[in-house]
A and B are shown apart, each in its own frame.
Chain A
Amino acid sequence: MTSIFDSLQITFSGLNLDLMIVLPAIALMGGTVIFLLMAVNALVAVYFERKVSAFMQDRLGPMEVGILGFKGGKRFWGGIGQTLADAIKLLVKEDILPNDADRVLMILAPFIIFTGAFLTFIGLPFAENLVISDFNIGVFYIVAMSSVGVIGIILAGWSSNNKWSLYGAMRAAAQIISYEIPIGLSLLLVVLVAGSLNFGDIVQWQADNRWFIFHSPFSFLAFFIFFISIVAETNRTPFDIPEAESELVAGWMTEYSGFRWALFFLSEYANMLIVSIVASTVFLGGWLSPLQMFNVLPEAWLFLDGPTLGLFWVFLKAIILIFVMMWFRWTFPRLRVDQLMYLCWKVFIPFGLANLFFISLWELLF
């Protein structure tokens, strides 16, 4: 697997330029692309979420705002300009810093969270050869980077000098740190079987054998543990205890407004995309088409694979997973703190450990 970064570097090296110019240029290009991706993702996902929630509650959702007069449908899918209008509104909103807040930390916090999400994209494979930088330890890198955000959350809660914020931040810390363990345990299964931390190798293993979710009963279970844990990791309902509108106003985001709040929002939806892509790459075959699900069809039939289609499959799988996350959100009520901890420590972690043991046996036996 060659990464975008490598191929760009190869392209530029033909121009005989100084490395000190080429590297920042490439980094800048990559950064712009990631940022655009995050912004578009937030716009689309928020609209999607509103519609999904509306339909699940027998409503219509936004119907009035269009882009240049085009509203996008009369009966159900109208109001496509709504999130754009919201984004503009957010950017022109007053940026409020409470008097007694810790100004430096409060300004810093959203950027830390944003940086966490942003950096994660670097190691994220969108298709074969479509990864900004291909790490040998890709899986590990992403797990590490996605926990940078929790520092930002704690900072945000602490610096706001508001009891709701602090409660929210404490809950977020407890929740995110706890749920990283089942995530790690589930990913460990994959690493153990595929023998690599590199996303390219993991997908190659699935191409040679079958989608990892269908590898064994244990990996099937691991997928669900992983998926539910990433929902908790992204603070989404039913695990939105840190934000809990009905208890904590908006949790650690209570005191934020305007652009800084928009950064939180952006990172939150970016995180959703990230975890969905990771889940689809690791468990659902990544850029492999559904025809390779069980790897029983002859080679000649696999006409649905290719560089462009790979991108399509990754995003399709991610979007389905995102839809399921939204589906969760509009189905289940929020868990209590103790239920949340119970679920993590008393269900997921024992099951994860047992999974790990049994899959090792499975590997030994078959």
Chain B
Amino acid sequence: MSEYFNNIFYGVKSFLTGMKLTLSHFKNKKELVATLQYPHEKWPVPERNIGFDHAEYNLIRSRLHVDIDDCIACMQCEKACPVDCIKIDSIKPPKDSDFDCGMTSNDTQKKMIVSRFTIDMSECMYCNLCVFPCPEECIYMVGGPNASKHEIDYEFSQYERDGMIFEFADATDEQIKEAGGEKWIEQRDAKINKHEEGIKLEGEVKIAVPPPVTTPVKADESKPVSKTAVKDSGTGELEIKSFNSISDKMCRGIAKKTFTAAKRAGKDQTAMLSDIAQALSDMGKMTDEIQTILDGLPAPVAEHVTEPEIEQKEPESIPVAAESPTIFEMDLKDLNGIEDKMARGIAKKAFIAAKRAGEDKVEAVKNALEDAGKLDTASEALLSSFTAAYSDSENLDPKVESAGDEKPESGEQSQDLPLFDIKDLNSIDEKMARGMAKKIYTAGKRAEKSRSEVIRDIKAGLSDAGKLDSAIEELLNRLETGS
């Protein structure tokens, strides 16, 4: 019992002691607060002393400083820097001018003016190698032994990286011009402009990026437009090496020769390939083997730029498609359209297994999902879109009903109209949209597409980028009808 009361007594006592202690700290904050409000208040910099006199130990590692009035632009420091963070531009006045570049404090007559002297302190590693070669001793680290020339600066952090680039040159534009540096100023301004433009461009370029791959089902319904032609033309993936797989020596030679000629003429891949095929069959060397090789060539390119579902049921594009049947192959990435994580995993596994075994991948994936009880309507639709695409490509059946009847008609109707002129697109007001339209136009022209096809491509491309407004649409419609 007494222990109980002792405990309580002790508890109360230590309770009061603790309270007294904290209160004393609370009350004595004037003396006790240890915080230093750093950017507003600073500790004095301690005297630097490592056992030597500054005179004996003439080295400090801190911020670099240049006494630009003394610099004779000899570039010794720039050459010495192991990380190339010093950049010096100088301008030498022409021989006959009487421009005076001034004297250094060592009484050396300066022969040039320094128009730019930047040191990127974020790259500098404080090795001091630039300091020693300077004939005028005008580049040095501040503070320490150099404190008489420049006080110590140990805190030069910045909010932006650009702030770490220190500019020491102080020649005005007038002086530079006087010394005959107009050209240098022009170049500098051009650089600055380019830089600023680049910064401005940043946002816009992002918008111009083609829209993300849509799920196959959607694409079938909403935009049955082939982008194959557009994208193929831009790729330079067809290389001379690609023909190495032709076994017959002579054919290989012919193919390569034609390829080089076509490349020089600046033709695009499709044209190149048809050239090669032409040349080969002219020589009577065209075999089935070569044909398949040639067919196979644009495929790797087309496979990853086109959505496999886009080969769509358009009669017009079938010739293109026929050349590269592989684009209907289901890709592993296409399975990402499956939402359920588990189902996706199963599907991918089955896909790879089927690929290795050379079986029908779609079928295999479907079976695997069914076995796992994960086959829902969405993934089934996804898979069947591949099946459809696949069989389409196999049959190359031009009469696919789902594509609708009007398309072949409109194709026929506009086929007799010649392709309109690229200048017609100039009436599109918006710069970006105009550029895109022209690009698509050129691609379509190269692929020898018909007028209506090209216009459809332009429309699709613009609406994908969200740039299709009513004015442009009207213009395109007018162009289509040829008025």
> Which A residues form the contact surface with B (CB < 8 A)?
52, 55-60, 63, 76, 327-328, 330-332, 346-347
Shortest CB-to-CB span from B63 to chain A, Å, is 27
Q: Is the beta-carbon distance between B26 and A52 smaller than 8 angstroms?
A: yes
Complex Cα distance, B11 from A347, in Å, reads 11
Given A331-B18, A332-B18, A55-B26 contact (CB < 8 Å): yes
Q: Is the beta-carbon distance between A331 and B35 smaller than 8 angstroms?
A: no
Interface residues of B in 8-43 (CB under 8 A from A): 8, 15, 18-19, 21-23, 25-26, 29, 32-35, 37
Most buried by B among A60, A327, A331, A332: A331
Q: Is the beta-carbon distance between A58 and B25 smaller than 8 angstroms?
A: yes
Q: Is the beta-carbon distance between B19 and A76 smaller than 8 angstroms?
A: no
Complex Cα distance, B34 from A58, in Å, reads 6
Query: Residues 406-441 of chain B: 1 if any A CB is under 8 Å from the residue's CB, otherwise 0?
Result: 000000000000000000000000000000000000
Complex Cα distance, B381 from A78, in Å, reads 64
Shortest CB-to-CB span from A72 to chain B, Å, is 14
Shortest CB-to-CB span from B241 to chain A, Å, is 51
Which of B23, B33, B35, B37 is in CB contact (< 8 Å) with A327?
B23
Which residues in A have their C-beta under 8 angstroms from that of B8? 347
Complex Cα distance, B27 from A76, in Å, reads 12
Which residues in A have their C-beta under 8 angstroms from that of B19? 327-328, 331
Complex Cα distance, B271 from A171, in Å, reads 78
Interface of B, helix, strand, loop or mixed by DSSP:
helix
Given A58-B29, A58-B32, A330-B22 contact (CB < 8 Å): yes
Given A52-B26, A347-B8, A59-B21 contact (CB < 8 Å): no
Shortest CB-to-CB span from B304 to chain A, Å, is 34
How many B residues touch A, CB cutoff 8 Å?
A: 16
> Which of chain A's residues has its CB closest to B7's CB?
A347
Which residues in A have their C-beta under 8 angstroms from that of B22? 56, 327, 330-331
Which residues in A have their C-beta under 8 angstroms from that of B18? 331-332
Given contacts A57-B25, A76-B29, A327-B26, 8 further A-B contacts (CB under 8 A): A56-B25, A58-B32, A59-B34, A59-B35, A327-B23, A330-B22, A331-B19, A332-B15
Which residues in B have their C-beta under 8 angstroms from that of A330? 22
Which residues in B have their C-beta under 8 angstroms from that of A55? 25-26, 29, 33
Shortest CB-to-CB span from B41 to chain A, Å, is 10
Which residues in A have their C-beta under 8 angstroms from that of B21? 331
Q: Can you sample 16 A-B contacts with CB below 8 Å?
A: A52-B26, A55-B25, A55-B33, A56-B25, A57-B25, A58-B25, A58-B33, A58-B34, A59-B35, A76-B33, A327-B22, A330-B22, A331-B18, A331-B19, A332-B15, A347-B8
Interface residues of B in 219-264 (CB under 8 A from A): none
The 5 closest A-B pairs by CB, nearest first: A60-B35, A331-B22, A58-B32, A331-B18, A56-B22
> Which of chain B's residues has its CB closest to A329's CB?
B22
Query: Residues 178-222 of chain B: 1 if any A CB is under 8 Å from the residue's CB, otherwise 0?
Result: 000000000000000000000000000000000000000000000
Most buried by A among B21, B22, B25: B22
Shortest CB-to-CB span from B475 to chain A, Å, is 44
Query: Residues 25-66 of chain B: 1 if any A CB is under 8 Å from the residue's CB, otherwise 0?
Result: 110010011110100000000000000000000000000000
Shortest CB-to-CB span from B118 to chain A, Å, is 33
Shortest CB-to-CB span from A35 to chain B, Å, is 32
Which residues in B have their C-beta under 8 angstroms from that of A60? 33, 35, 37
Complex Cα distance, B21 from A263, in Å, reads 34
Which residues in B have their C-beta under 8 angstroms from that of A59? 33-35
Which residues in B have their C-beta under 8 angstroms from that of A76? 29, 33
Complex Cα distance, B3 from A346, in Å, reads 13
Which residues in B have their C-beta under 8 angstroms from that of A63? 37
Which residues in B have their C-beta under 8 angstroms from that of A346? 4
Complex Cα distance, B272 from A97, in Å, reads 58
Shortest CB-to-CB span from A349 to chain B, Å, is 13
Which residues in A have their C-beta under 8 angstroms from that of B26? 52, 55-56, 327
Complex Cα distance, B22 from A52, in Å, reads 10
Shortest CB-to-CB span from A257 to chain B, Å, is 25
Query: Residues 329-353 of chain B: 1 if any A CB is under 8 Å from the residue's CB, otherwise 0?
Result: 0000000000000000000000000
Complex Cα distance, B27 from A52, in Å, reads 10
Complex Cα distance, B23 from A330, in Å, reads 10
> Which of chain B's residues has its CB closest to A76's CB?
B29
Shortest CB-to-CB span from B80 to chain A, Å, is 43
Complex Cα distance, B15 from A52, in Å, reads 18
Complex Cα distance, B141 from A164, in Å, reads 55
Complex Cα distance, B4 from A331, in Å, reads 24
Which residues in B have their C-beta under 8 angstroms from that of A332? 15, 18
Complex Cα distance, B7 from A346, in Å, reads 12
> Which of chain B's residues has its CB closest to A330's CB?
B22
Which residues in A have their C-beta under 8 angstroms from that of B37? 60, 63
Which residues in B have their C-beta under 8 angstroms from that of A347? 8
Complex Cα distance, B35 from A356, in Å, reads 50
Complex Cα distance, B33 from A30, in Å, reads 43
Which residues in B have their C-beta under 8 angstroms from that of A327? 19, 22-23, 26
Shortest CB-to-CB span from A345 to chain B, Å, is 13
